[in-house]
Structure 1
């Protein structure tokens, strides 16, 4: 019996170590906080989705959904499941989030993904603020980086290349060896708002160019 209890204790400890803690805030202006842990298998599944992206644009598209999934999981373990798009749809609810909560939490979730190496085409920046008339709004921000170098794969050398190199001094025949396709060039340095305030809990975040967001673009929610 003691042996069984010891094994169970070790398994629980290993499970806790495998999980990744994140502190989320809510109830407007980060008035309340809760720490939760994402299990390794949950994060591994999301990592796989992100690593399947073949360009920065694809990664942004997948990232929007991955953030929605992270918020949905968070809503199962914290009060943020009550959060609705904007500020009017969840007034008075425990777990509601304003743009300060969202920009803080989304940045923390992005940093979690970046720490795991899940983001190959972007880095995480500090939240941005926009001011229109007397209103202020905040959002998480990412910046596109140069695409990672493709993994070197063994080149398939056509049979005639080796033969011609043996028979004659014909270096031009090396051009017949196929080269791996280069990754899409993208637009390194471009910055994007990642705004989860625009959507209900668990829905994909809104990702759009930061300049457009600063000019007021985004869904019409209040």
Structure 2
């Protein structure tokens, strides 16, 4: 009897640890530092339920903005990125601040995990995209998703404080400078 209980306990513990997900989150500007963030089965279940209740692609994007904010908020409970504020200047010299390279890289990783887990029904994750200043110099970067109809959107967490919903805009509008003024 004790042996069966021990085997059951080992099996249960192995399924719990396998179900958690680890994601590296960049910070420090230019991804010079990374924190390994563990998302629990409960947190992932919350995100899964949020995204599963989407009625269509537009609704999934709205829910995805919220999900990305929650994932960053939980990451902030485990790392210094809790100090990150929208844009590049509001957070001053605090540890954990993030620029658009950090955000675009980390958001793409988060979206990739959601996609790999089967949580995205109407979108797929694409490579990070730049936006150019005067068409010459890459001045901002963002994560990108593509809807089933081929329309592309940025998922830009750089515009907001840690834990707030990401900004999702059509890629073409974002490339022309659309987004909150930070």
User: Under a length normalisation based on structure 1, what TM-score does the superposition of the two structures give?
Assistant: 0.75
Instruction: Kindly indicate whether residue 141 of structure 2 is the aligned counterpart of residue 141 of structure 1.
Output: no
Instruction: Look up the match of 2:84.
Output: 83
1:101-120 to 2 correspondences below 5 Å: 101-120=102-121
The structure in which a higher percent of residues are strand is 2
Counting matched residue pairs gives 179
Separation in structure 2 between the aligned mates of residue 10 and residue 84 of structure 1, nearest angstrom:
42
- 1:3 is displaced (CA, Å) by 9.7
Task: Give the direction of change, closer, same or farther, for the CA distance of 1:212–1:15 in structure 2 (3 Å limit).
Answer: same
**Secondary structure in 2 matching 1:42:** helix
Q: Distance in 2 between matches of 1:193 and 1:102?
A: 12
* Bigger Rg, which one: 1
Which 4+ stretches in 1 moved above 3 angstroms?
Answer: 1-14
Counterparts of 1:39 and 1:117, CA distance in 2: 16
- 1:79 Cα shift? 1.1
Asked if 1:203 is matched to 2:164, the reply is: yes
Whole-angstrom distance in 1 between the partners of 2:145 and 2:8: 43
| TM-aligned CA deviation for residue 26 of structure 1 | 0.4
- Pairwise mapping of residues 118-137 of structure 1 onto structure 2 (< 5 A)? 118-133=119-134, 136-137=139-140
Specify the alignment match of 1:213 in structure 2. Answer: 174
Unaligned ranges ≥5, structure 2: none
Matched ranges for 1:52-201 at <5 A: 52-133=53-134, 136-145=139-148, 188-201=149-162
Task: Work out the CA distance in 1 between the residues paired with 2:88 and 2:3.
Answer: 53
Structure 1: distance between partners of 2:101 and 2:163? 18
Contact 2:143–2:156 (CA<8 Å) still a contact in 1?
A: yes
Aligned to 2:33: 32
> Matched residue of 1:72: which SS?
helix
TM-score (normalised: structure 2): 0.91
Local SS of the residue matching 1:212: helix
For the aligned residues, what is the CA RMSD?
Answer: 2.0
